[in-house]
C-alpha cells in the first residue's frame, strides 16, 4: 500500500468510546502471531482451531500471507506428508488453513479487502474477503462476517511479533 493509502486510513480511524487513539494502517505491516480465533453462529461460540491455535500473518507491500494450525495435530505414522492415512489427512486438512494474496484498505468503513490468490481451502481461491479491523497498540483484531460461507462471525486476534 502506498503512503497515500496509509494516510487516508490514518485519518479514518478516530477515537471510540473508552478506546485509545487507533493507529494508522501503515502499522498493519509486519509480522503477527495468532492469539485466538473464535467463531460464533446462531449464538453458539466455538474455537475451530482449538483453544491455543498457532498462526502467523505477514503483511508487507500490499501483500499478505496467513497460516493457521490447530495445536496438537497428530504426526503421520509414515513420516511422509504424501503418504498419510485418510484419518491423518483429515486431521491435517481440518486443523489447518493457509492463504495468501493482495490486500487493500477501505478508509470509509475500516475494512481490509483480502484478495485471495491461493489457499489450502480451494474455495477461497479467487475470492475477495472483507474484514473489519481494529488496531490497538500491538493487538490487531480482524472480524469476518459469514466465514467460509457458513454464516456467523469469525474473530481473529493477532499480536505483533517484535
Q: pTM for this one?
A: 0.80
Report, as an integer, the average pLDDT of 50-77.
Answer: 96
pLDDT at 15 over 80: no
Is residue 8 included in any domain, yes or no?
A: yes
Q: What is the CATH number of the domain that holds 36?
A: 2.40.128.280
In the chain, which ranges are E strands?
Answer: 30-41, 44-46, 54-60, 63-69, 96-106, 111-119, 128-136, 139-145, 153-160
9 compared with 48, residue with greater pLDDT = 48
> What b/e sequence results for 114-124 when a residue is b if at least 16 CB atoms lie within 10 Å of its CB, and e otherwise?
bebeebeeeeb
Which cell goes with 35?
Answer: 492469539
Is residue 22 included in any domain, yes or no?
A: no
pLDDT for residue 109? 82
Report, as an integer, the average pLDDT of 41-51.
Answer: 93
Distance between alpha carbon 27 and the CA centroid of its chain, in Å?
A: 16
pLDDT for residue 1? 37
pLDDT at 135 over 80: yes
What is the overall mean pLDDT for the chain?
Answer: 83
Is residue 135 included in any domain, yes or no?
A: yes
- The range of the structural domain enclosing residue 149 comes to 3-12+28-160
How many folded domains does the chain comprise? 1
Helix and strand numbers, DSSP H then E, in the chain: 2, 9
| N- to C-terminal Cα separation, the chain | 22
Reported confidence tier of residue 146, pLDDT bands at 50, 70, 90: low
Amino acid at each position: 500500500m502506498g503512503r497515500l493509502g496509509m494516510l487516508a486510513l490514518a485519518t479514518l480511524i478516530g477515537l471510540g468510546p473508552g478506546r485509545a487513539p487507533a493507529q494508522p494502517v501503515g502499522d498493519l505491516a509486519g509480522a503477527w502471531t495468532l492469539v485466538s480465533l473464535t467463531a460464533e453462529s446462531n449464538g453458539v461460540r466455538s474455537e475451530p482451531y482449538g483453544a491455543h491455535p498457532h498462526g502467523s500473518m505477514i503483511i508487507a507491500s500490499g501483500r499478505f500471507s496467513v497460516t493457521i494450525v490447530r495445536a496438537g495435530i497428530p504426526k503421520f505414522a509414515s513420516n511422509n506428508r504424501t503418504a498419510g492415512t485418510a484419518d491423518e489427512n483429515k486431521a491435517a486438512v481440518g486443523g489447518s488453513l493457509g492463504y495468501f494474496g493482495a490486500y487493500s484498505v477501505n478508509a470509509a468503513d475500516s475494512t481490509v479487502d483480502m484478495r485471495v490468490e491461493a489457499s489450502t481451502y480451494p474455495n477461497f481461491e479467487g475470492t475477495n474477503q472483507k474484514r473489519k479491523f481494529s488496531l490497538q497498540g500491538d493487538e490487531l483484531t480482524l472480524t469476518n462476517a459469514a466465514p467460509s460461507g457458513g454464516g456467523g462471525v469469525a474473530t481473529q486476534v493477532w499480536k505483533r511479533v517484535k
